[in-house]
């Protein structure tokens, strides 16, 4: 009996099997455990695409500046829209070395800032380009009355004459979309290609002291809306070999691939035009 007891104790001891061999069965058991996925339903309803648009605060107490002489080559335009300037600063210049022209005191060869302010517009000139008398070269504005401008690929979504709430310094201010001509700027042709940004101008409906210190603001605009469409969270979508897919879970708990076609992208959600039906469940990545 003593011999049997000793043998039993020896077999149950830690010295018979190395520790790593005792743990070999754990990964095998885990491999058969079902994965737990985060799931989402395919829903039907209204989908809205909003965008946050950055705006720049600009003054409209402005001076339009041009040269009063023809056919003299530009030496340079030294500022760009948005630059802050000080009184007397050189803004643009034509070449005074062209002796064929007799210039009077009323025909200066350099444009200088009439006061401290901000540049609303600056002409882009090519090398060798010559000036035309009266053509707008630079617009400088004082920091008193203000407009807002945005440079965005969504410029088509803004309707002239429509009012929007613009957040500046934590406060919402009503502002109306206006044309460049309404604020004294030259009209510019709109881009003809898609996804090319353009400038949108807003005129504030009321003055506000917040604008004295602010240079930036933002607004939120509805870009597109669709009713009665299927959609899923954007985190459910992925792209493989240039094809969009979602993952689904079959009745055995196995993950499977489903190819889909998408429509409107609303940021957190994406429209599904083919490949899924309402009530389907997709896996969130």
Quote the pLDDT of residue 219. 94
The verdict on pTM exceeding 0.85 is: no
Indicate the class that CATH gives domain 39-50+227-283.
mainly beta
Per domain, the residue ranges of the chain are 39-50+227-283
CA geometry: angle 196, 197, 199, nearest 5 deg: 145
261 strand-pairing partners = 274
pLDDT at 27 over 90: no
Name the phi and psi angles at 23, rounded to 5: -95, 0
Which pLDDT tens digit goes with each residue over 104-157? 655 688 999 999 888 878 999 999 899 998 899 998 877 556 778 999 999 999
Question: Of 273 and 188, which is predicted with more confidence?
Answer: 273
pLDDT at 266 over 90: yes
Left (φ > 0), alpha (ψ -120 to 50) or beta: where does 120 sit? alpha
Quote the pLDDT of residue 235. 95
Burial of 271 (0-12, 13-18, 19+ CB in 10 A): middle
Quote the pLDDT of residue 151. 93
Average pLDDT, the chain: 82
Which pLDDT tens digit goes with each residue over 206-231? 655 555 555 788 999 999 999 999 99
């Amino acid at each position: 009996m003593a011999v049997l007891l000793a043998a039993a104790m020896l077999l149950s001891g830690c010295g018979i099997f190395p520790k790593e061999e005792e743990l070999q069965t754990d990964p095998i058991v885990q491999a058969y455990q079902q994965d737990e996925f985060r799931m989402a339903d395919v829903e039907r309803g209204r989908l809205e695409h909003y965008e946050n648009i950055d705006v720049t605060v600009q003054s409209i107490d402005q001076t339009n500046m041009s040269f009063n002489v023809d056919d003299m080559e530009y030496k340079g335009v030294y500022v760009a829209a948005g630059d802050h300037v000080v009184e007397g600063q050189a803004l643009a210049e034509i070449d005074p070395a062209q002796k064929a022209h007799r210039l009077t005191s009323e025909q200066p060869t350099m444009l200088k800032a009439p006061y401290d302010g901000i540049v609303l517009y600056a002409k882009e000139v090519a090398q060798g380009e010559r000036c035309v008398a009266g053509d707008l070269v630079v617009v400088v504005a004082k920091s008193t009355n203000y407009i807002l401008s945005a440079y965005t690929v969504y410029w088509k979504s803004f309707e002239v004459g429509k009012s929007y709430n613009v957040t500046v310094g934590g406060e919402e201010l009503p502002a109306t979309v206006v044309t460049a001509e309404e604020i004294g700027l030259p009209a510019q042709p709109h881009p003809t290609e898609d996804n090319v940004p353009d400038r949108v101008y807003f005129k504030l409906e009321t003055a506000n002291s917040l604008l004295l210190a602010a240079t930036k603001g933002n607004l939120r605009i509805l870009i597109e809306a669709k009713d009665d469409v299927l959609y899923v969270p954007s985190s459910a979508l992925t792209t493989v070999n240039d094809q969009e897919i979602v993952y689904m879970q079959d009745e055995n708990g196995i993950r499977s691939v489903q190819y889909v076609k998408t429509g409107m992208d609303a940021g957190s959600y994406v429209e599904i035009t083919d490949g899924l039906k309402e009530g389907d469940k997709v896996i969130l990545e």
